[in-house]
Structure 1
Amino acid sequence: MELLLDQTFAFTLADVRKNILVPFRVDRDFDHLAICLHYGPKAIRDPEIIMPQIRKCVKTYFPAGYQLTEADMQEYQELFNFVTLSLDKNGEYVGCAHRHPPQQILTISASGSSWGFAPTAASAGDWRAVLHVQAVVVGTVDYHLRIYGMERGEQDAEIPSL
C-alpha cells in the first residue's frame, strides 16, 4: 500500500458550485486505487439555521406564491452538506461518486471499479480528482481525501481510518 495523496480542505458557502481540481501522479502500476474520503459535519439540524434557508429555496425553486404549511415545515428537520467526487485519468473521465455518505472508500481497477466508475487500470499516469461542492449549509465543511495505490491481495480493511 502506497499513499499517493493526502489532502485536507475547508469548504465554506463561497465554495458552493465550485469544482476543486486535485491532480496527483501515479508513478507505477498498482492492482487498484483506493480513494478514501471523509467530510463533516454532514447534517445540520438547528431550526434557526435551516428554516430561513428552506424558505429561500421555496422562493427560488417553487412556483410563485407557494407557501409552506406547518406540516411542510415539520418535514424538514435537517439540511445536508454535500461534496461529490469525480475522477479523470490522463485527461479521460473515469466516473463519479454522487453519493451522500460522508465517509467512503472507492475502488478503481481494471477488473472492476466502484459503482459510477468505469473499470480502469490503476496504472502510471496523470490522475485528477475533482471535488464538486454541492452544498454547504453553514460554517465550514472539513474534507479529507486520501488516495492509495494498492497491491494485489491488499484489502480496504488495511487502510488507516481518516
Structure 2
Amino acid sequence: MKLLDLQGYASPEDSKTHIRIPFELDEGCGKLNLRLQYAPKTLENREEALQLLMNSYDLYILPENREYAIENADRHLPLKNLMTLSLDDARGYRGACHRHDEVQELFVSEREASPGLMPGKLVSGPWSVTLSLHCIVTETCDYRLQIWTTEEDAI
C-alpha cells in the first residue's frame, strides 16, 4: 500500500538543513519500503565549482593552509549534492542511510533491513523520515521520496 509519494526541490540555501516528513503506519505491515532519489548529483560547471571551493576555503581552512588547498582544488572536483535519509518509528530511532547514492532503495521488516536501518517489529502509529540536506551545490536539486508497505516480510 502506498503511504507517501513526495516530490520537492532544494537549493544551496537549504544546505545543512533537515526536512522531517511524518507518515502513519497501520497494523499488519510486513515490510516497509522506501525509495529516495535526487538529481542532479554533480555540479558540472567547473568555474562555479571552483568558486564554491574558494568560498569554503575562506570559511574552513586555516590561512596558512589555503595556498596548498587552492593549488590542489581539482582533487575535490566534481562537487556533488548530498542528501541522506534517517528513519524513526513511534518508539524512536530506526536507523540512518547516509550514503552518497542518488537513488536509494531501502526496506525494513521484523527480521531484516537495509544496511543502516534496524530490523524489528513494525509498530503501528506515527513514523517519520528525515531528509538531511548536507550539501546542495547545484542551482536546484529535485528529490522524490516514496514510501509503501507490503504484507510479506523480507526473506
TM normalised by structure 1 equals: 0.87
- Matched residue, 1:54: 53
* Map 1:87-102 → 2, pairs under 5 A: 87-102=87-102
Unaligned stretches of 5+ residues in structure 2: none
Kindly tell me: are residues 69 and 6 of structure 1, through their superposed partners in 2, closer, same or farther at Cα, counting changes over 3 Å?
closer
Q: Which amino acid aligns with 2:61?
A: F
In the TM superposition, what is the alpha-carbon distance from 1:118 to its structure 2 partner? Answer: 1.4
In the TM superposition, what is the alpha-carbon distance from 1:69 to its structure 2 partner? Answer: 6.4
- Matched residue, 1:105: 105
Say if 2:111 and 2:153, in contact at 8 Å, map to a contact too: no
- Count of paired positions: 154
In the TM superposition, what is the alpha-carbon distance from 1:70 to its structure 2 partner? Answer: 7.0
Kindly tell me: are residues 152 and 144 of structure 1, through their superposed partners in 2, closer, same or farther at Cα, counting changes over 3 Å?
same
Please say if 1:128 is aligned against 2:121. no
Comparing 16-25 with 144-153, greater Cα deviation is found at: 144-153
* Map 1:1-162 → 2, pairs under 5 A: 2-66=1-65, 67-68=67-68, 72-152=72-152
Say if 2:89 and 2:123, in contact at 8 Å, map to a contact too: no
Quote the Cα distance in structure 2 between the aligned partners of 1:138 and 1:20.
Answer: 18
Say if 2:57 and 2:69, in contact at 8 Å, map to a contact too: no
Kindly tell me: are residues 69 and 60 of structure 1, through their superposed partners in 2, closer, same or farther at Cα, counting changes over 3 Å?
closer
TM normalised by structure 2 equals: 0.90
Aligned-pair Cα RMSD in Å: 1.9
Say if 2:90 and 2:123, in contact at 8 Å, map to a contact too: no
Q: Which amino acid aligns with 2:77?
A: Q
Moved over 4 A (4+): none
Unaligned stretches of 5+ residues in structure 1: 156-162
Say if 1:110 and 1:120, in contact at 8 Å, map to a contact too: yes
Quote the Cα distance in structure 1 between the aligned partners of 2:37 and 2:101.
Answer: 9
Say if 2:111 and 2:154, in contact at 8 Å, map to a contact too: no
Quote the Cα distance in structure 2 between the aligned partners of 1:99 and 1:34.
Answer: 17
Say if 2:37 and 2:104, in contact at 8 Å, map to a contact too: yes
In the TM superposition, what is the alpha-carbon distance from 1:148 to its structure 2 partner? Answer: 0.9
Quote the Cα distance in structure 1 between the aligned partners of 2:69 and 2:152.
Answer: 56
1:108 counterpart SS class: strand
State percent identity of aligned pairs: 28
Say if 1:40 and 1:142, in contact at 8 Å, map to a contact too: yes
Quote the Cα distance in structure 1 between the aligned partners of 2:109 and 2:154.
Answer: 13
Say if 2:110 and 2:121, in contact at 8 Å, map to a contact too: yes
